[in-house]
């Protein structure tokens, strides 16, 4: 994933191509909306238009030195991003929750949200637990993500799991939404991405 092959646009983030363990990677860190959750903070793949298909990527996160106590190493993808970055679907992981003893936090290892309205805070305020789940993940390790998207349904897999860690039957923007793909990052996180593969069905 090199800049000359994959043009990337920073949306409320700072991005750079660098190396990690001698491999070329994309580094993404929030630049704006630093203390706001579930916002349009991602690195967008320029010219990508995605409706149905499979998105695969490897991602790794570390906590920044100034990360607040509630930072979780949030990393993931945004997809079906509209042209002005005001609406998209997203799936991300919270690596610090992956192997913790706290059962409540452990069940919040992965998250779907839909921007701008349907954030994790919206779901939790209403007691809706359908859009979170557990996953065996951790900080500072490569996490393989595969998202299988068809119409309004999405299934998300991590680390070559046979069963999805989360299934969303009715994504909030509906079956017809389409748009760009992005690398999502949230509060207090230094995120690295590599090996993006997009398999479009239509």
pLDDT digits (tens, 9 = 90+) for 13-31: 999 999 999 999 999 999 9
pLDDT 10s digits, 92-105: 999 999 999 999 99
Q: Closest by alpha carbon to 59, among 161, 177, 146, 153? A: 146
pLDDT in tens, 27-53: 999 999 999 999 999 999 999 999 999
Note the pLDDT tens digit of each residue in 51-82.
Answer: 999 999 999 999 999 999 999 999 999 999 99
The angle at the Cα of 84, spanning 131 to 184, to the nearest 5 degrees, equals: 40
Range 8-200 classified under CATH 2.60.120.560: yes
Q: Which phi and psi angles does 125 have, rounded to 5°?
A: -60, -35
Give bridge partners of residue 158 from the DSSP assignment. 145
- Give residue limits of the domains in the chain: 8-200
Question: Which of left, alpha, beta for 36 (phi over 0: left; psi -120 to 50: alpha)?
Answer: beta
Residue 55 near residue 198 (C-beta atoms within 8 A): yes
Q: What stretches of 21-172 adopt beta strand conformation (E)?
A: 23-30, 42-45, 53-63, 75-81, 88-93, 110-115, 132-133, 143-150, 153-158, 166-168
What's the chain's average pLDDT?
96
Residue 197's beta-bridge partner residues?
56
DSSP code for 116: T
């Amino acid at each position: 994933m090199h800049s000359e092959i994959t043009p990337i646009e920073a949306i409320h983030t700072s991005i750079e191509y660098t190396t990690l363990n001698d491999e070329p990677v994309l580094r993404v860190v929030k630049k704006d909306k630093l203390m706001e959750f579930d916002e349009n903070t991602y690195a967008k793949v320029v010219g990508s238009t995605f409706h149905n298909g499979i998105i695969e990527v490897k991602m790794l996160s570390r906590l920044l030195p100034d990360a607040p106590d509630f930072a979780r190493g949030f990393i993931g993808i945004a997809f079906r991003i509209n042209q002005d970055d005001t609406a998209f679907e997203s799936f991300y992981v919270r690596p610090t929750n992956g192997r913790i003893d706290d059962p409540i936090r452990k069940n919040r290892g992965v998250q779907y949200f839909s921007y701008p309205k349907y954030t994790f805070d919206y779901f939790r305020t209403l007691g809706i637990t359908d859009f979170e789940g557990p996953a065996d993940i951790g900080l500072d390790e490569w996490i393989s993500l595969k998202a299988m998207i068809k119409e309004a349904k999405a299934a998300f897999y991590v680390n070559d799991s046979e069963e999805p860690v989360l299934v969303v039957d009715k994504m909030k923007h509906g079956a017809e939404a389409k748009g760009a793909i992005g690398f999502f990052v949230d509060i207090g996180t230094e995120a690295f991405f590599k090996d993006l593969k997009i398999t479009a069905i239509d």
